[in-house]
Amino acid sequence: MLDPKIFLTIGILFCLRFLPAQPLLQLPEDSISGVWVGSLYQQEGGIADEFYFLLEINQQGLYAEGISRVGLEDIQAAITFVATRELAGHWAFTEREITSSRAPDNLEWCYKQYHLKLKYASDGSMILTGPWWGRSKSGACIPGTIILKKSKTRA
């Protein structure tokens, strides 16, 4: 006859085997879909310390895609990206293709990667923040940080 403790342990292990590794549903408040507005900061040596930065994100579960928009006065670009959710609220973004650009002939756009963490400000607003780095045709770009706040939907 099987010891009841062993039978219970086997039953629990069998049930755990079929539980999903990730939650089946994502809470709406944790969705990063929407428009995020803020700044892209570049370390010393870049063409500017701060750029306007905007992400239009369409999230589907643990995957997202969209358009990043970066600008400084008359210099602007729109670049497609893909992103995947990682542990502890981090998202890994990779820019793919420039869809529009306005820049001097001697400027090369940087295709960026960024790891942004979803946080909540004291007023309850959602913030994405973290480091970025990238490459242009000439080589590595001077990296920096990104700070974005989710735009509120308006009537």
The position carrying tokens 């990238």 is 134
Residue 95 lies in a domain: yes
Residue 68 sits in a domain of what CATH number? 2.40.128.120
3-state secondary structure (DSSP) of residue 12: helix
Total domains in the fold of the chain: 1
pTM: 0.78
106: domain range?
24-150
Per-residue pLDDT of 16-50, as tens digits, reads 454 444 443 444 457 899 999 999 999 998 889 99
Residue 11 within a domain: no
The 3-state DSSP class for residue 1 equals coil
Q: What is the dihedral of CA 65, 113, 50, 141, to 10 degrees?
A: -140
Q: What is the DSSP letter of 25?
A: S
The answer to whether 69 and 51 have CB atoms below 8 angstroms apart is no
Q: What is the per-residue pLDDT for 89? A: 80
pLDDT in tens, 45-79: 888 999 999 999 999 999 999 999 999 999 999 99
15 domain-assigned:
no
